[in-house]
Structure 1
Amino acid sequence: MKYAMRISDRLLELVHRDLSRPHAVAYERVGHLHCRVGIDKDMTVILAEEYRPVADDDYLPSSAAGAMIGPTAIRRALQHAYQRRDSVFHVHRHDHVGVPAFSRLDVRENARCVPDFWKVSPAMPHGALVLSLDAAIGQVWCPLTHANQPLRDITCIGTPVRRLGGLYG
C-alpha cells in the first residue's frame, strides 16, 4: 500500500507556531497530529485534522535528545487516539530550510513508540513526521503488515498547494 499525507495550510501554520516556542529544558518541541484516513485501491490518504502539542510539564531534561517526553505525554496521545479511533503522527521540527531527515535516535524511538498506537487504534496507520522550515519527511506503519515505509507524498493544501516532500522529494 502507498501512503500520502495532506495537511491544511492553517493547521501547518499552527504546528509551526507551536514548534517554534522555546522550552526551559527541551531544545525542540514535539506534538501529535491526529488524522483521518481515506483508502483507495492504490493509495491511502492520511488527512491531518488536529494538532495536540505536548504540554510543557511533560518534557524531561535530556542531553541525549533535542526533546524527551515523559509517559504522561504518551498516555495523553494514546487516550485521545482511543477516543477518536484515528491515525496518529508524532511530529517535531528541525530548524533549517530544505528536506529534513530522521536522526538515528528518531528512527530508533519511532520504531519503539509508534506501534503502541495500535493498542488503542488498531485499524489505522500511524507514523512520524519531521518538518523543516519549508519541507517534511514522514514514516508510516501499515496496520496490516506492521511494516514501516516512507510517506509517498506530503502536501499542504491551501493557496497555493505546496508539496512538502515524501518519497520522491
Structure 2
Amino acid sequence: MTVHLKIDGRLLDTVRQDLHRPHPFAYERVGFFTAGVADLGDRLLLLVRDYTPVADADYEIDRKVGAKIGSAAMRKAVQSAYRPAATLLHVHTHGGQGKPGFSGVDLDSAKSFVPGFFETTPRMPHGLLVLSNDAAHGLLWLASDRPPLTIDEFQRIDAPLQREWGNHDLA
C-alpha cells in the first residue's frame, strides 16, 4: 500500500515558519497536523486539514532531547482529532535541505506516543512527520499493533481552486 499526503502550500509555509521560531528552552518546536483520509484500495490519501502548534507553556525542560512536550500538549492534540475524526500527525523540523530523516529519539518517542492517538480515534491512521526546508519524511501507523508504513509521496498544493459559474443559473 502506498501513502500520499497533500497539503496546502500556504499552510506548509506557515508551519515551517512556526517550527523555526525560537523557544525559551526547547531546541526545536513541535506541532500537529489533522488530516482527512481516503482509502483508495491500494493507496491511502491524506489531506491535511489544519495545524496546531504546541503552546510555549506545554514544553517541558529535558536537556536530553530537542523538545519534550507534556501531557497537556498531547491532550490538546488528540482533542483536535476527535470531532470530526481525523488522522493525527506529530510534526517537527530538522531544517536543512533535502529529504530529512528521523533521529533515534524521534523513533523511540513515537513508539510511546503514537499508540495513544489510537485511544481517541481508533479507526484513523496516525503518524509522525519530519520536515526539512524543502522536503518531508513520514511514517504512518494503520493500527497501534502494526508496523508503520512510509509516507511515499508529499504534494504541496499551491493553486487555489476557483469556481466560475459564468452566466449559468443554479436552480
Cα displacement (A) at 1:83: 2.6
**Contact residue 93 and residue 132 of structure 2 kept, 8 A:** yes
Unaligned runs of 5+ in 2: 160-171
2:93 is aligned to 93
Cα displacement (A) at 1:5: 0.8
Separation of aligned partners in 1, 2:110 and 2:59 = 17
Separation of aligned partners in 1, 2:149 and 2:55 = 29
2:117 is aligned to 117
Q: Does structure 1 residue 102 correspond to structure 2 residue 130? A: no
**Contact residue 114 and residue 144 of structure 2 kept, 8 A:** no
Task: Choose 1 or 2 for highest CA Rg.
Answer: 2
1:5 is aligned to 5
Q: Does structure 1 residue 75 correspond to structure 2 residue 114? A: no
Question: TM-score, normalized by length of structure 1?
Answer: 0.90
Cα displacement (A) at 1:88: 0.4
Separation of aligned partners in 2, 1:108 and 1:30 = 16
Deviations 1:41-87 (A, max 9, x none): 12010111100000000011111111110111001111221232110
Unaligned runs of 5+ in 1: 160-169
**Contact residue 20 and residue 29 of structure 2 kept, 8 A:** yes
- Note the 1:121-140 alignment, pairs <5 A: 121-140=121-140
- Note the 1:153-164 alignment, pairs <5 A: 153-159=153-159
1:57 is aligned to 57
1:84 is aligned to 84
SS for the counterpart of 1:111 is: helix
2:22 is aligned to 22
Cα displacement (A) at 1:120: 0.7
1:142 is aligned to 142
Question: TM-score, normalized by length of structure 2?
Answer: 0.89
Separation of aligned partners in 1, 2:95 and 2:148 = 25
SS for the counterpart of 1:73 is: helix
4+ residue runs over 6 A deviation: none
Cα displacement (A) at 1:153: 1.0
Cα displacement (A) at 1:112: 1.3
- Root mean square deviation of aligned Cα: 1.3
Separation of aligned partners in 1, 2:58 and 2:153 = 31
**More off after superposition, 44-53 vs 75-84:** 75-84
Q: 1:144 to 1:90 in 2, by over 3 A?
A: closer
Separation of aligned partners in 2, 1:94 and 1:50 = 21
2:42 is aligned to 42
Separation of aligned partners in 2, 1:83 and 1:47 = 16
Cα displacement (A) at 1:144: 8.5
Separation of aligned partners in 1, 2:139 and 2:111 = 10
**More off after superposition, 78-87 vs 7-16:** 78-87
Cα displacement (A) at 1:143: 3.1
